[in-house]
Amino acid sequence: MKDVCVIGSGAGAGPIIYELSKAGFKVIVLEKGPWIKTEAFTKDEMTVTRRSAYKPNAIDEPQVTDKPSSSGFKATSSVDSKRDFQNGSCVGGSSNFMSAYFHRLKPKDFRLLSEYGPINGANVADWPISYDDMEPYYTKVEEVVGVSGKVVDHKHLEPRSTPDFPHPPLITNEIADWFIEAGKNIGYNVIPAARGIISEPRENRKACYHSNYCGSFGCSSDGKSSSRAALIPDAMDTGNLEIIPNSKAFKLETDGNGKIIKAHYYNESGVVKTIEAKTFVVACQAIESSRLLLMSKNEEFPNGLANNGGQVGKNMVFAGGGGGSGYFRYDELSPEKVEQAKNKNTFVNQCIKDFYEIEDESFDLCKESPNGKVKGGTIDFLIEHSAPMPKGIRNKFSDGSLIYGSELKETLKDYFTAQRRVRFEIFCDWHPNDDCFVTLDDEVVDKWGDPVARVRTGFHQRDIQIGNYLADRAIEVLQEMGAGSITKSINGNPPSNLIAGGCRFGNDPKTSVLDKNCKAHEVDNLYVTDGSFMPMGGSAPHTFTIYANSFRVAEHLKKAL
């Protein structure tokens, strides 16, 4: 019998796999997708985005989204809507395809309820651990998984046990300096943003080669710190790890005494198989992890595994916020700036943290707050992705009318050769609420005949207010830079790729699924280590924290096993 069976192999699974294999435990991994080797990754949009080769397709693995609308919630299957929350389905999961903007959370993120008080209509909660408990593991991610960047002091800088990142910042486009300069002019600190991408070679990985095709695409140098490139190779070298790709877990069977004895899965031919292990770690990406627990019903757990308290699938969170953009037309720039703007490098890696906490008496939410402060978020600055198809598609319509013929050609020529588009992304808390949760759908099934996840995506108006406040600060920077045609889009549509919650950790079994070590309160040998544990997602993309937490749980497991 194996010591540990891990389900999934992405960011939440990687540190468990790495640490436990290295500590001498026998680890087996069930991964739903194939094992794509580095050599098979290309920057081919046909493969990656047009035929979405790395994601499960909607016919095989649909999900149902239950979205708020003016006439109440409206449920649609992704078979019809083509919208879902499926990301990378392969060894390493979505961590292969992330852009890897890596921000640590800050001490206050762990104590939102205590710091800012309750919020009507939102299930705000403190974490059962503090930033100090997590800090050593953020450091571990920086060193083991590989993070590049530069620490600069600012008023919201979180405490660090090391002075700086182990890898220097990646080379950026000189447009980065335009952002810094503009920020300075209007009194905002535009500071370096870290990336989970290595800027120099190490072990068996080559440095980032600046393909300019990062997000959504697999990395051909292994410079991107995916679980597949950064953690799994060393774990394989121990001889203690076995990975079974193309195997989809669909049920965890218990012994009647609160202990899992077997994981049931379909192998690559669709045949049902089982794996026995002493401990089970689930990390299927938040929605699918809740789904697996809900599917694992039996007499002992009639509402799904670890769900006698009725909390599994509740309090899903996404990354709140949105984004916006502006354009620099070459005919309005100096020759020197045109040259900089034309440089193909898309990395800016600059952000603003000044508004991580907002203290502004003109902002309505601050007026309502007892101490005049509200939790804000992060502004990241970017240059438009190099992939040409999204640029083409953006230009298909003008004022809502489809364009074609010479007009289409002129528009495309202009878009591709006479301007550069810069972007910003806003990250703020997605306030957990009673209308944001995962259940099993009653009708829609996947290709194996199992009920699919039904995701209700209600959001709190506060997210929109804070998102807009932050977007407006980003717009001030863009205006100061001289960008034209500036737009923003802040709404309650959840991003499909930044998902957490559903199996909250906490001290009270009535309001949480997992304890502070991410072990299920109700099951002796079940851990969940993807983003599911997060009671609040913080005001940054989640993956740095998912990796860090998984290292933290691994440390606990090494002692507990």
Q: Which positions from 467 through 496 interact with another protein, judged by CB under 8 A?
A: 468-469, 471-473, 475-476, 486-490, 495-496
Q: Which stretch, 48-56, 141-149, 158-166, 276-284, contacts another protein (CB under 8 A)?
A: 48-56
Tell me the closest approach of the beta carbon of residue 498 to another protein, in angstroms: 12
Residue 368 host element (H or E): helix 364-368
Tell me the closest approach of the beta carbon of residue 112 to another protein, in angstroms: 23
Binds another protein (CB under 8 A): choice among 201, 239, 270, 310: 270
* Rounded Cα gap, residues 314 and 414, in angstroms: 48
Q: Which stretch, 125-133, 138-146, 321-329, 538-546, contacts ligand FAD (CB under 6 A)?
A: 538-546
Regarding 40 and contact with another protein (CB under 8 A), the answer is yes
* Rounded Cα gap, residues 243 and 233, in angstroms: 11
Report the 10 Å Cβ neighbour count for 421. 17
Positions in 6-25 near ligand FAD (CB under 6 A): 7-13
Regarding 30 and contact with ligand FAD (CB under 6 A), the answer is yes
Positions in 194-233 near ligand FAD (CB under 6 A): 215-216
Give, as one character, the DSSP assignment of residue 345.
-
Positions in 139-178 near another protein (CB under 8 A): none
Regarding 135 and contact with ligand FAD (CB under 6 A), the answer is no
Nearer to ligand FAD, 190 or 214 (CB): 214
Binds ligand FAD (CB under 6 A): choice among 95, 296, 346, 512: 95
Per-residue binding string, another protein, 384-413, x by CB under 8 A, is xxxxxxx-xxx-x----xx-xxx-xxx-xx
* Rounded Cα gap, residues 249 and 8, in angstroms: 9
Positions in 255-284 near ligand FAD (CB under 6 A): 283-284
> Who's near 97: CB < 8 A, 6+ residues apart?
54, 87, 88, 215, 216, 217, 218
Regarding 503 and contact with ligand FAD (CB under 6 A), the answer is no
**Sheet with 484-490: strands ordered across:** 190-192, 350-352, 377-383, 419-428, 320-329, 484-490
* Rounded Cα gap, residues 25 and 235, in angstroms: 11
Q: Which stretch, 96-104, 126-134, 388-396, 475-483, contacts ligand FAD (CB under 6 A)?
A: 96-104
Positions in 331-390 near ligand FAD (CB under 6 A): none
Regarding 324 and contact with another protein (CB under 8 A), the answer is yes
Binds ligand FAD (CB under 6 A): choice among 139, 468, 539, 543: 543
Nearer to another protein, 300 or 472 (CB): 472
Regarding 281 and contact with another protein (CB under 8 A), the answer is no
Regarding 100 and contact with ligand FAD (CB under 6 A), the answer is yes
Binds another protein (CB under 8 A): choice among 23, 47, 150, 160: 47
**Residue written as tokens 């045609």?**
485
Q: Is 223 helix (H, G, I), strand (E, B) or coil?
A: coil
Q: Please, are residues 505 and 512 in contact by the beta-carbon 8 Å criterion? A: yes
**Phi and psi torsions of 330, nearest 5°:** -65, -30
Tell me the closest approach of the beta carbon of residue 510 to ligand FAD, in angstroms: 25
Regarding 41 and contact with ligand FAD (CB under 6 A), the answer is no
Q: What angle do CA 411, 415, 417 make, to 5 degrees?
A: 115
Tell me the C-alpha to C-alpha distance, in Å, between residue 398 and each of 324, 409, 411.
Answer: 18, 13, 9
315 conformational bin, left if phi > 0, alpha if psi -120 to 50, beta if neither: left
Torsion sign, CA atoms 390, 391, 397, 403: negative
Nearer to ligand FAD, 189 or 496 (CB): 496
270 binds, among ligand FAD, another protein, none (CB under 5 to 8 A by kind): another protein
**Sheet with 72-77: strands ordered across:** 72-77, 64-69, 451-457, 436-445
**Phi and psi torsions of 265, nearest 5°:** -145, 160
Q: What angle do CA 189, 131, 522 make, to 5 degrees?
A: 140
448 binds, among another protein, ligand FAD, none (CB under 5 to 8 A by kind): another protein
Rounded to the nearest 10°, the torsion over CA 224, 225, 231, 232 is -40
Regarding 363 and contact with another protein (CB under 8 A), the answer is yes
253 binds, among another protein, ligand FAD, none (CB under 5 to 8 A by kind): none
Tell me the closest approach of the beta carbon of residue 388 to another protein, in angstroms: 4
* Rounded Cα gap, residues 259 and 524, in angstroms: 5
Q: Which residues bind ligand FAD (CB under 6 A)?
A: 7-13, 30-33, 87-90, 93-95, 97-101, 215-216, 248-249, 283-285, 288, 292, 497-498, 530-531, 541-544, 546
